[in-house]
Chain A
Amino acid sequence: MSQITMTQALNRAIDEAMAEDEGVILLGEDVAAKQGGGVFKISSGLTEKYGEQRIRATPISEQAIVGACVGAALAGFRPIAEIMLMNFVTVAMDQIVNHAAKLRFMSGGQTNVPLVIRTTTGVGVGFGGQHSDMLEAWFAHVPGLKIVTPSNAADAQGLMRAAIACNDPVIFIENILCYGLKSDDPGPGHIVPLGKAAVARAGSDCTIVTYGRTVLDALEVAGKLADEGISVEVIDLRTIAPYDEATVTASVEKTGRAVVLHEAVKQYGTGAEIASRLNEKLFGKLKAPVTRIGGAFSAVPMANALEQAWIPNKDAIADAIRAAMNWKG
């Protein structure tokens, strides 16, 4: 079976959506052909097909980019804003939090904002404190936003199609380290519905709940622990908000143990919400406390040695699972 990279998958999803609907447009820094089709080449080849009216390279003006996409969305378009790096979304927070997220509600449902904000990030490439953060918890706290982060190429394609088709704003978080990942080619027209987690690996002793790049770490650890006789189930949330509570709760009810894993800073991260919900739903059925693994409580450092110390590592994931297995109360 032929394979496809995450870069190709995202490009294909956007290409398909643009071919189907003239209202799908892309705005962002350097996204047009003249500028090379985006810093990460996601929009490569699209200007040639759809023209500069629909693929608009913008000034470095994140508020204006997101604001223009909000306005176009209100007029019935399905814009995609590329915010090159996730830290730069902080410059556009007013448009995202006060406008994109709330206009449907504040208008009593008269208007809506079918907008996708694509953004990328990732620890492990030495970009330092202002180019590496995972800020999904900021957005998960805001009613009205959907948050998606794929862990593999096929899901990236299917989730991007679903995000563009969604009638509400979607923050679509990519990871720089995942662009080259290959999946079996899901073929054209592939759609993965929003709000549905995937069981990335089935198991019976302990559940790892995670999303994005750390799904890869979780799968590797699950493989190793199988040799120790520990059967680990890996849940890939795919959509952080809305949260697929049914899938996660069912898994943890079955295994009785859970470790929540994310790359973002652990403190006040999405893991806290997930652990809390599991306690509310499954208190008394859990065989061990739900634990969390996340990034350290500092800015992401530049030096590779420090980055590796900052990021959740596989040994820590394995240790957390072993600790859950050995919990004596």
Chain B
Amino acid sequence: MTDTTIDRDKLRDIYTRTMRVARADEKFRSLLMTGKLAVIYYTVRGQELVSAAAMAALEPSDYLVTTYRGQHDQIAKGVPLNPLFAEIAGKVGGTCRGKGGSMHITHPETGVMVTTGVVGSGLPIANGLALASQNRGDGKVTMVCFGDGATNIGAFHEAMNMAQLWKLPVIFLCQNNRYGEHTAFADHTKVDSIVTRAKAYGMAGVHVDGNDAIAMYNTTKAAVDRARAGEGPTLIEAMCYRMMGHFFGSDFSYMPKEHLAEMAAEDPLPRLRQLMLDHQFTEAELDAIVADLDVQMDAAAEYAANSPLPGPEEIRKDVFEEEIAA
């Protein structure tokens, strides 16, 4: 049975990570709305808590592979805000000097090794990071995040089979937000739950309410402990909602009214706030955390705005180790 209790410090940690994600997402959307930023952005509204609780169960040195809708994972894993904001804005001060953007955030110092823009492609790569840890015996685990839509591409199946075959220290975190782009889960997948697919590979699989901070954290922690102990991979299916369209500004009229209502009722942010109050955190304490984060968001937005644009010479750099000729 998964533990239903949680350490108070861990809960504060999860709250802070969740709100860091939420306030950053809010800031990005406000920059986009006011025309201060004009980039493609896949909002993470609704999935803040899933990553916050999952990343709180990892060590900073553990590896993470995520996907184009990945700002929640990156921020929760610890990517510093200034270079993150600058990267999304395509500036030299960005994590990738403006050459990756929101879909390709990379920050090895915090373990964020790959952010891919191709659905499902992160899973085979996560296996390789985990394989390196297995051979080295460095005790690291690798987490790879993806959505329900990614579970119907071949890479998912090839990677699941290989990970279990070699008992790799990898955690497959499916954030089932119930939509693959514009297509609802039931219209792209016939099984009721992604986690049933773990059985097909002889892998441990757990289904969890991703918006339940305690369950999400404890489920991830158990999988991390198993992986670190050499007991192999786990598929976690964390149920959540994508509370906006596929990308920021896109139409989501294809979502039925009942779904929108269900989604609003399950919003992880008020639910987590209530959980915190239930655990005797005070309103003032929680407000102070958010106020401090908002100062950081403003600073990050300013840092990004002031960071220079990359020059054309960047095109010749990093194609190969050696700079290519002009």
* Residues of chain A at the chain B interface (Cβ within 8 Å): 22-23, 25, 53-54, 56, 58-59, 61, 63-64, 66-77, 79, 94-95, 98-99, 103-112, 143-144, 146, 167-168, 242
Contact = CB atoms under 8 A, between A and B. Distances in A.
B116 A77 contact: no
Contacts of B165: 59
21 contacts: A54-B135, A59-B161, A63-B154, A64-B155, A67-B123, A67-B155, A70-B125, A71-B129, A74-B114, A75-B133, A77-B132, A77-B135, A94-B155, A95-B124, A105-B318, A106-B100, A107-B99, A110-B108, A143-B319, A144-B320, A242-B320
A14 B97 CA distance: 36
B268 interface: no
A75 B99 contact: no
Given A69-B128, A76-B132, A99-B114, A109 B318 contact: yes
B99 A98 contact: no
B130 interface: yes
Nearest to B315: A105
A106 B106 contact: yes
A146 B108 contact: no
A95 B65 CA distance: 14
Contacts of B63: 75
Q: Return the 9 tightest CB-CB contacts between A and B, nearest first.
A: A71-B128, A67-B124, A75-B132, A108-B96, A64-B158, A107-B106, A108-B97, A68-B128, A61-B158
Contacts of A168: 320-321
B125 A110 contact: no
Interface string B113-144: 11011100101111111111111000000100
Contacts, number: 150
Contacts of B121: 67, 94-95, 98-99
Given A74-B125, A110-B106, A168-B321, A64 B100 contact: no
A72 B97 contact: no
A110 B95 contact: yes
B170 to A, nearest CB: 9
A80 to B, nearest CB: 13
B248 to A, nearest CB: 21
A144 B94 CA distance: 21
B224 interface: no
A105 B132 CA distance: 22
B162 interface: yes
A315 to B, nearest CB: 39
Nearest to A195: B322
Nearest to B103: A106
Given A66-B124, A99-B121, A144 B158 contact: no
B104 interface: yes
Given A23-B132, A63-B158, 10 more contacts: A59-B165, A64-B162, A67-B121, A71-B124, A71-B126, A71-B131, A77-B135, A99-B116, A106-B100, A107-B99
Nearest to B321: A167
Given A67-B155, A74-B114, A106 B104 contact: yes
Contacts of A63: 124, 154-155, 158-159
Contacts of B324: 242
A66 B317 CA distance: 25
Contacts of A112: 321
A144 B319 CA distance: 5
A163 B216 CA distance: 44
A179 to B, nearest CB: 28
Nearest to A168: B320
Nearest to A102: B104
A50 B187 CA distance: 48
A67 B320 contact: no
B252 interface: no
B129 A75 contact: yes
B221 interface: no
A193 B63 CA distance: 33
A168 B319 CA distance: 9
B242 interface: no
Contacts of A109: 97, 317-318
B166 interface: yes
B20 interface: no
Nearest to A92: B124
Nearest to B122: A67
Contact of A105 (B95, B126, B134, B319): B319
Contacts of B126: 71
Contacts of A110: 95-96, 106-108
A70 B318 contact: no
A106 B124 contact: no
Nearest to A64: B158
Interface string B150-176: 000011001101100110000000000
A73 B135 CA distance: 13
Contacts of A74: 113-114, 125, 128-129
Interface in B52-97: 63, 65, 94-97
Nearest to A58: B162
Contacts of B127: 64, 67-68, 71
A111 B155 contact: no
Nearest to B154: A63
Nearest to A143: B319
Contacts of B134: 53
Contacts of A98: 116-118, 121
Contacts of B130: 71
A99 B106 CA distance: 13
Nearest to A107: B106
Contacts of B113: 71, 74-75, 111
B320 A108 contact: no
A72 B320 contact: no
Nearest to B109: A110
Nearest to B126: A71
A64 B95 contact: no
A73 B154 contact: no
